């Protein structure tokens, strides 16, 4: 048997976020386009050398991006919306980044989550124009590795079916035209790669793990039939991940040279399919045996046993040992994390360590010998030591969990009854204006926090700085004229990390960054033990801010499911149990905020939807415990206390029931890039609770005009009543600059006042 190891993809940000710094330097004009391209090339080659040095046998190119791979494909195919005034031919970097971030003349393309991960991609827009191959950058990367490193790599492409499914702008009629244009472009890319010497081309088709209709299956069969007929010499590895392959009997027979399967998240289904249908004898199997989305060390003995069972069941003659998906979703290496608890550190495995594990597994399956002494016993010992950690045996947490009863999940009165009580108590104007939570974290804020963390300033000095910055922004909000204030979150680096640092059961890394969107990188906390609230986490800062104004200042918390989904979570107990532990901790914090006189409390759940299983038939179980965790955290408040929540990039039409089930008094939705679609959705699915429709895009540096916002407000009133309607940006403002933030908010308030004046004229 022929057996090699490979990776579907590797983190492109670099061990020390070299990629991020290069991109942001270019945006700021600190480096030229020529310097930018040279630095990016150096980073690409270094990443390949790194993987080679770890023992990876088949390297991958095309997993690198200047911003996002879906955007890369869209520009490669000439899918540039007309609003960017593209002249044709190669898409310049200015146009590329305008699509990602917007500019003074055009809003950015929509951004949404990549399946059920924490990564956001740019949604390609098809406008019916003639597509073209503008530049085969995959060929450039392949030749670069071949010439610079002497490596015949595996180019990776997002497959045509997935690209089609994740694009927008076509309907049932124009879909055929879109497909007919796409296939020849894919053929050109493949032909050029084969001519250049590519032995394998990886076609990533994660959409093939979704629930597929009969027409979908026929379309996939036709697409790959055409690719095989036109380029018969191309060896395509059809790569699936995040779940088991749907319609296995039909799709396993596609005319491709290999099929990659996820034997982590899709283990049960893919194994069942192998037993029922077998695996084509003439195809290479990609065995996704290591979890590409978590950071836990694998039990090598178990992984070897599973790999051998898969090989025996499938009876293939050639296989690739690989992670379950791209390693983009995990940090680069744990070698900088020596400050972590030793037991925890030993149980971790990031991208580099996972590649080493792949090498060990491949070696043993082939030769029945380990590449390093004691590897198998070390992995088992590390896992068992963490299982016995004292932080996983918290008696108080277990006692609190055992006393949860159904009444803890329900507010005493219905929304309609609460709404009137809150209106009388809060006395807010019609169309109240607010923001989502965070304000710009300036260079001064970041420098001061860094100085505090490095103990160059005292705790008292840091607290005084945060207090003064909060006071400054309370005054700015007064001048802008907002109705409900926030304290700005200047003491917080990240909306999950901040709470994790104050709860037991969490650990934090020094350099374990992963990309969230564009150049935005995050360090997810590690939930390794039982989660426990020990002291107030937010009360002092909120109360200090509230004392500076007669306007209401919202308490700001991150919800239990978002904390769960945006962390690396222990894998020894069900996720539902971890979510409930977090919910109980937040419940205690909310009690403290209420006791301190805070009347409006926002508990954000931007990640509730993204945690959905990819198959709809699995949604109910997740939503049941996810919604209950939110209610466990929030339902104990007084009827007069107003609970807000916030969600990002939410497909409202297929998620309205779970949103309604949260029973939040007000929800703000991040929809500015797809506002028209939300309006249509709400026409079909009426929503009765309070709602704030994000009226401008905070991910773009452009300042929206008053007229733009006013138009959105008037359109929104077609489907939202005055009594329901809150007005706010579509997300937090932490990453924006101060000047653009103030200007945008002033325009938002001006548009709201214009709306109120129109209402008064109508009423009079």
Burial class (CB in 10 A: 0-12, 13-18, 19+), 56: buried
Query: Which residue, among 533, 465, 455, 476, has the nearest Cα to 499 in the 3D structure?
Result: 533
122 and 223 share a domain?
A: yes
| Cα distances (Å, whole numbers) of residue 2 to 254, 263, 310, 315 | 22, 19, 15, 12
| Distance of alpha carbon 293 from the chain centroid | 12
Quickly list DSSP for 588-655. Answer: HHHHHHHHTT--EEEEE-TTTGGGS-SSGGGHHHHHHHHHHHHHHHHTTS-TTSEEEEEESS--GGGT
The two structure tokens encoding residue 161: 């079916």
Cα 748 to Cα 692: distance, rounded to the nearest angstrom: 13
Could you tell me if 10 and 53 are in contact, meaning their C-beta atoms sit under 8 angstroms apart? Answer: no
What mean pLDDT, rounded, does the chain reach? 94
Per-residue pLDDT reduced to its tens digit, 639-667: 999 999 998 755 566 788 899 999 999 99
Cα 89 to Cα 79: distance, rounded to the nearest angstrom: 11
- Residue 170: what pLDDT? 95
Q: Strand 284-290 and strand 258-262: pairing? A: parallel
Q: How confident is the model at residue 246 (pLDDT cuts 50, 70, 90)?
A: very high
Q: What is the DSSP letter of 385?
A: H
| Distance of alpha carbon 82 from the chain centroid | 28
Catalytic residue among 73, 120, 265, 699: 699
Residue 24 belongs to a domain: no
Between 684 and 282, name the one with better pLDDT: 282
Q: Is the pLDDT of residue 345 over 80?
A: yes
Could you tell me if 612 and 243 are in contact, meaning their C-beta atoms sit under 8 angstroms apart? Answer: no
According to DSSP, the residues that pair with 642 across neighbouring strands are 600
Q: Is the pLDDT of residue 6 over 70?
A: yes
Residue 145 belongs to a domain: yes
Residue 26 belongs to a domain: no
The mean per-residue pLDDT over the stretch 204-220 comes to 97
Could you tell me if 620 and 598 are in contact, meaning their C-beta atoms sit under 8 angstroms apart? Answer: no
**Is 710 annotated as catalytic?**
no
The mean per-residue pLDDT over the stretch 116-134 comes to 95
Cα 25 to Cα 19: distance, rounded to the nearest angstrom: 10
Query: Which domain-ending residue is among 365, 390, 415?
Result: 390
Cβ contacts of 671 within 8 Å, gap of 6 or more: 649, 650, 652, 677, 678, 693, 694, 730
Q: Is the pLDDT of residue 572 over 70?
A: yes
217 and 292 share a domain?
A: yes
Q: Is the pLDDT of residue 2 over 60?
A: yes
- Residue 650: what pLDDT? 53
The two structure tokens encoding residue 714: 């008037």
The two structure tokens encoding residue 435: 């923001």
Residue numbers belonging to the annotated binding site for 5-methyltetrahydropteroyltri-L-glutamate: 17-20, 113, 118, 520-521, 566, 610
Q: Strand 642-647 and strand 600-604: pairing? A: parallel
| Cα distances (Å, whole numbers) of residue 304 to 151, 290, 296, 320, 370 | 28, 11, 16, 13, 11
The two structure tokens encoding residue 97: 């980044």
324 and 365 share a domain?
A: yes
Could you tell me if 156 and 193 are in contact, meaning their C-beta atoms sit under 8 angstroms apart? Answer: no
Q: Is the pLDDT of residue 698 over 90?
A: no
Query: Which domain-ending residue is among 390, 425, 453?
Result: 390
Half-sphere exposure at residue 219, Cβ-oriented, CA atoms within 13 angstroms: 20
Residue numbers belonging to the annotated binding site: 17-20, 113, 118, 436-438, 489, 520-521, 566, 604, 610, 646, 648, 670, 731
Query: Left (φ > 0), alpha (ψ -120 to 50) or beta: where does 573 sit?
Result: beta
Residue 28 belongs to a domain: no
Between 493 and 61, name the one with better pLDDT: 61
Per-residue pLDDT reduced to its tens digit, 288-344: 999 999 999 999 999 999 999 999 999 999 999 999 999 999 999 999 999 999 999
Count of structural domains within the chain: 2
For the beta carbon of residue 300, count every other beta carbon within 10 angstroms.
19
Cα 712 to Cα 675: distance, rounded to the nearest angstrom: 8
The mean per-residue pLDDT over the stretch 109-138 comes to 94
219 and 359 share a domain?
A: yes
545 and 475 share a domain?
A: yes
384 and 443 share a domain?
A: no
Residue 40 belongs to a domain: no
Residue 267 belongs to a domain: yes
Q: Is the pLDDT of residue 596 over 90?
A: yes
Handedness of CA 474, 479, 480, 484 (dihedral sign): positive
621 and 739 share a domain?
A: yes
664 and 572 share a domain?
A: yes
Quickly list DSSP for 25-43. Answer: HHHHTSS-HHHHHHHHHHH
Residue 48 belongs to a domain: no
Could you tell me if 228 and 256 are in contact, meaning their C-beta atoms sit under 8 angstroms apart? Answer: yes
436 and 353 share a domain?
A: no
* 61-82 residues labelled b (16+ CB within 10 A) or e (exposed): bbbbbbbbbbbbbbbbbbbbbe
Residue numbers belonging to the annotated binding site for L-methionine: 436-438, 489, 604
372 and 501 share a domain?
A: no
Q: How confident is the model at residue 204 (pLDDT cuts 50, 70, 90)?
A: very high
pTM: 0.90
According to DSSP, the residues that pair with 506 across neighbouring strands are 527
Residue 467 belongs to a domain: yes
Query: Which residue, among 46, 56, 90, has the nearest Cα to 356 in the 3D structure?
Result: 56
The two structure tokens encoding residue 608: 């509730």
Handedness of CA 274, 276, 278, 279 (dihedral sign): negative
For the beta carbon of residue 754, count every other beta carbon within 10 angstroms.
16
Burial class (CB in 10 A: 0-12, 13-18, 19+), 235: middle
Q: How confident is the model at residue 693 (pLDDT cuts 50, 70, 90)?
A: confident
Q: Is the pLDDT of residue 695 over 90?
A: no
**Can you list the positions of beta strands (E) in 437-543?**
484-485, 503-507, 514-517, 520-522, 526-533
Residue numbers belonging to the annotated binding site for L-homocysteine: 436-438, 489, 604
420 and 367 share a domain?
A: no
479 and 373 share a domain?
A: no
Burial class (CB in 10 A: 0-12, 13-18, 19+), 312: exposed
Query: Which residue, among 379, 210, 200, 218, has the nearest Cα to 304 in the 3D structure?
Result: 379
Give the domain range for residue 507.
401-763
Query: Which residue, among 429, 442, 441, has the nearest Cα to 482 in the 3D structure?
Result: 429
* CATH for 562: 3.20.20.210
The runs of H, that is alpha helices, within 2-32 are: 18-28
Query: Which domain-ending residue is among 356, 390, 424?
Result: 390
| Cα distances (Å, whole numbers) of residue 42 to 14, 28, 69, 96, 607 | 11, 20, 19, 21, 35
Could you tell me if 733 and 741 are in contact, meaning their C-beta atoms sit under 8 angstroms apart? Answer: yes
């Amino acid at each position: 048997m022929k057996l090699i190891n490979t990776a579907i993809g590797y983190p492109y940000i670099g061990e020390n976020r070299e990629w991020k710094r290069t991109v942001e330097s270019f945006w700021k004009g600190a480096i030229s386009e020529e310097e930018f391209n040279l630095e990016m090339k150096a980073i690409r080659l270094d990443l390949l050398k790194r993987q080679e040095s770890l023992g990876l046998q088949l390297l991958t190119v095309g997993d690198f991006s200047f911003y996002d791979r879906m955007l890369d494909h869209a520009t490669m195919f000439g899918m540039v919306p007309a609003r960017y005034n593209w002249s044709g031919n190669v898409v310049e970097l200015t146009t590329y980044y305008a699509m990602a971030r917007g500019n003074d003349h055009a809003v950015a393309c929509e951004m949404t989550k990549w399946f059920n991960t924490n990564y956001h991609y740019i949604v390609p827009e098809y406008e019916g124009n003639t597509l073209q191959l503008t530049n085969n950058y995959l060929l450039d990367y392949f030749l670069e590795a071949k010439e610079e490193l002497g490596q015949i790599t595996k180019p990776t492409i997002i497959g045509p079916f997935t690209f089609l499914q994740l694009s927008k702008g076509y309907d049932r009629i124009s879909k055929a035209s879109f497909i007919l244009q796409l296939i020849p472009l894919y053929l050109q890319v493949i032909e050029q790669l084969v001519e250049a010497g590519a032995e394998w081309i990886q076609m990533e088709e994660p959409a093939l793990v979704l629930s597929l209709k009969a027409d979908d299956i026929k379309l996939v069969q036709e697409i790959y039939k055409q690719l095989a007929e036109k380029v018969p010499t191309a060896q395509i590895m059809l790569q699936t991940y995040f779940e088991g392959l749907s319609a296995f009997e039909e799709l396993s027979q596609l005319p491709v040279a290999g099929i990659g399967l996820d034997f982590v998240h899709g283990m049960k289904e893919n194994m069942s399919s192998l037993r029922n249908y077998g695996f084509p004898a003439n195809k290479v199997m990609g065995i996704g045996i290591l979890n590409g989305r978590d950071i836990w060390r694998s039990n090598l003995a178990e992984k070897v046993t599973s790999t051998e069972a898969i090989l025996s069941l499938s009876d293939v003659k050639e296989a690739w040992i690989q992670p379950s998906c791209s390693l983009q979703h995990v940090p680069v290496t744990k070698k900088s994390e020596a400050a972590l608890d030793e037991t925890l550190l030993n149980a971790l495995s990031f991208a580099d360590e996972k590649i080493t594990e792949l090498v060990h597994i491949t070696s043993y399956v082939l030769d029945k010998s380990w590449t390093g002494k004691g590897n198998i016993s070390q992995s088992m010992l590390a896992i068992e030591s963490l299982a016995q950690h004292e932080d996983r045996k918290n008696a108080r947490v277990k006692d609190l969990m055992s006393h949860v009863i159904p009444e803890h999940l329900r507010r005493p009165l219905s929304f309609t009854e609460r709404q009137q009580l809150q209106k009388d108590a809060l006395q807010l104007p019609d169309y109240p204006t607010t923001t989502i939570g965070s304000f710009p974290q300036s260079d001064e804020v970041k420098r001061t926090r860094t100085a505090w963390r490095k103990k160059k300033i005292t705790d008292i000095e840091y607290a005084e700085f945060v207090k003064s910055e909060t006071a400054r922004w309370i005054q700015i909000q007064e001048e802008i004229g907002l109705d409900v204030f926030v304290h700005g979150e200047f003491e917080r680096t990240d909306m999950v990390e901040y709470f994790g640092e104050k709860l037991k059961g969490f650990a934090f890394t020094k350099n374990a960054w992963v990309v969230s969107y564009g150049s935005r990188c995050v360090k997810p906390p590690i939930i390794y033990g039982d989660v426990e609230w020990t002291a107030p986490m937010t009360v002092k800062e909120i109360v200090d801010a509230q004392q500076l104004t007669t306007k209401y200042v919202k308490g700001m918390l991150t919800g239990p499911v978002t904390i769960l989904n945006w962390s690396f979570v222990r894998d020894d107990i069900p996720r539902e149990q971890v979510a409930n532990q977090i919910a109980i901790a937040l419940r205690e914090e909310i009690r403290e905020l209420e006791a301190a006189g805070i009347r409006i409390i926002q508990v954000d759940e931007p990640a509730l939807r993204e945690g959905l299983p990819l198959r709809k038939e699995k949604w109910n179980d997740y939503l049941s415990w996810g919604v209950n965790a939110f209610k466990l955290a929030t339902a104990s408040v007084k009827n007069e206390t107003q609970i807000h929540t916030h969600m990002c990039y939410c497909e409202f039409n297929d998620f309205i029931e779970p949103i309604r089930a949260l029973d939040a008094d007000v929800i703000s939705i991040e929809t500015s890039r797809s506002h028209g679609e939300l309006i249509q959705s709400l026409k079909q699915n009426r929503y009765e609770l309070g709602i704030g429709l994000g009226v401008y895009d905070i991910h773009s540096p452009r300042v929206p005009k008053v007229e733009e916002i006013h138009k959105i407000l008037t359109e929104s009133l077609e489907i939202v009543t005055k009594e329901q309607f809150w007005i706010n940006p579509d997300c937090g403002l932490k990453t924006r600059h101060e000047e653009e933030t103030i200007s945008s908010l002033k325009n938002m308030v001006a548009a709201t006042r214009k709306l109120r004046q129109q209402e008064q004229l109508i009423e009079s």
